Amino acid sequence: MIMSRSTRWAVPLLVTLWSGGTLLAQSAAVPLLPFRPELDGLPPGGGSTPGQQSTDELPCPDCNPPKRFWAGFGELMVVQLIPWSYNHYVRDAEWADVSPSTWATNLENPWQWDNNKFKNNQFSHPFHGAMYYNAGRSNGYNFWQSAPWAFGGSLMWELMGEAWAPAPNDLSNTTLGGITLGEMLWRVSSLTLDNTATGAERTFREIGATLLNPVRGFNRIVRGETNDVTANPADWRPARVFASVDAGYKHVVGETNTGANADLEAGYLDLLLAYGDQVEDIDKSPFSAFTLRAELSSTKGDQGHLSMLSARGNLAATTLGSGEKSQQRLAAFMFYEFTSTPAYEFGGQGFAGGLVSRWGNPRGRRVQSELLATAWPVVALQSDYYTTLEGRDYDYGVGLGASASVAAIDEGKWAVRGSGRYLWEPILSGFNGDHYQASGTLDGRFYLWGRIGLGASGTVYWRHSVYDDFADVETNATQLRWYASLAVPRWTP
């Protein structure tokens, strides 16, 4: 089906509007890997429409951009200076009173786990890291070359941007979360942009891309790239893309052996984005295939209405077996998760690796599965006992675990997916102990009227926390969700 120009940019516009209002968001009780209905076709390259110059005749300065180290370094410093200036001159924050003496103290004294609120550590720091990352990415550096920019910016902030002792959790959250969110925002902003567009469409695309990726948008403005008609690099357009908005109702019931029970009902709005083919593209450049899920909930927690944000992208893969209707790959991924509700807080980032398989028609009826081991360098989980005056009510630890999923899909008609995961978290900061948690979900969606579908899911969750100096805590929860789904039309130039 051939779409009008206004319909063709529905996918990037949808993501832009969502992210511009909330800057993005699982369920109210349980962090899960995102459900991924499969993708509609999206041809590579920029393409052209009647009345436009063919992209084959246009120059492509974005295809091989020069590296601009000093421009990137200056922007990284500005990204640091803006929040520091606000906190120092407007809020008169004690931690922002820095000087050469505080720098020397931070270099000499041990690092300490900080006690900031959950949103600050698990969302604000990763998002700030994404800006560091894109100071490199938008100045000619690729994924691997931009990763040190997130680490360097975070290290500089910990040692020189705060008067308080540097924190290992902040360094990990800002670096790893910044890389994951930074590359995701880079690619979604690329999907939003179209160098061949002109007029109002070009204006809205440039505004949308700037909302998604402010550092990149700034560079396009100062370099005069917002009006130039040039070709789009091939990697700006994935081979396949799918986006949907789910609106529904969820009911969560939880109980613990301490009597802290929960019975929550809420409406929610979910954004799902699957970029690239989640099997075929995972051996390409990093984040050629990634998933994004964001959720807004009508139940407002301490962190606002943003109840969930998760992203996962491929790093590398090798093919173990391949046939006409089957494919098995050993793959590595990088992920980020943030869940904050009145009943539950969970966050972290890390790496996953294992077997990814598909049987059947890649564009029709098929079965897909994953069996992955997961490693979380730092993970935050709501504590039963640990609280501080600064507002921290969660434990920090490392995480080791596994996840598995299997999905039966008839593309464009229905998809049923079962998934589960397990995580062990030895506590490093908080009261000594260990957290063990497991969850399982069954989700089904059916598209009955073209792009409009209905779905339901059920989740069970279990957590057992063993403390050295306090009573053990066991939590059991169930969640039911019902929703209507709108799939975004495929983008056909």
DSSP result, 334-350: EEEEEEE-SS-EEEEEE
Predicted confidence pLDDT, tens digits, the chain (493 residues): 233 333 334 444 444 434 333 332 322 222 222 333 333 333 333 334 434 445 568 999 999 999 999 999 999 999 999 999 999 999 988 889 999 999 999 998 889 999 999 999 999 999 999 999 999 999 999 999 999 999 999 999 999 999 989 999 999 999 999 999 999 999 999 999 999 999 999 999 999 999 999 999 999 999 999 999 999 999 999 988 989 999 999 999 988 888 777 788 999 999 999 999 999 999 999 999 999 999 999 876 655 788 899 999 999 999 999 888 899 999 999 999 999 877 778 999 999 999 999 999 988 899 999 999 999 999 999 899 998 888 899 999 999 999 999 999 998 899 999 999 999 999 999 999 999 999 999 999 999 888 899 999 999 999 999 999 999 999 999 999 999 999 886 544 3
- Chosen CATH of 241-487 out of 3.40.1000, 2.40.128, 1.10.860, 2.40.160: 2.40.160
Residue pLDDT, tens place only, 139-179: 999 999 999 999 999 999 999 999 989 999 999 999 999 99
DSSP output for 401-449: EEEEEEEEEETTTEEEEEEEEEEEEEEEESSSEEEEEEEEEEEEEEEEE
| CB within 8 Å of 437: residues ≥ 6 apart | 381, 422, 423, 425, 461, 462, 463, 464
**Which residues lie across from 126 on neighbouring strands?**
none
Using CA atoms, how far apart are residues 443 and 81, in angstroms rounded to an integer? 45
CA dihedral for 77, 82, 83, 87, sign (positive or negative)? positive
pLDDT at 449: 86
- The domain spans of the chain are 69-222, 241-487
- What gap in Å lies between CA 420 and CA 440, rounded to an integer? 4
Residue 289 to residues 199, 318, 333: CA-CA distances in angstroms?
Answer: 31, 14, 10
> What is this structure's pTM?
0.87
Residue 71 parent element (H or E) = helix 69-85
User: Cβ–Cβ contacts within 10 Å for residue 399, how many?
Assistant: 20
What are the C-alpha distances in Å from 195 to residues 191, 219, 372?
A: 11, 15, 38
With vertex at residue 351, the alpha carbon angle to CA 18 and CA 398, rounded to the nearest 5 degrees, is 105
Helix (H, G, I), strand (E, B) or coil at 318: strand
| Tens digits of residue pLDDT in 85-115 | 999 999 988 889 999 999 999 998 889 999 9
Which residues, listed in sequence order, are joined to residue 455 by a DSSP beta bridge? 445, 483
pLDDT, tens digit, 9 for 90 and up, residues 445-476: 999 888 899 999 999 999 999 999 999 999 99
**Straight-line distance from the first to the last Cα atom of the chain, in angstroms, rounded to the nearest whole number:** 10
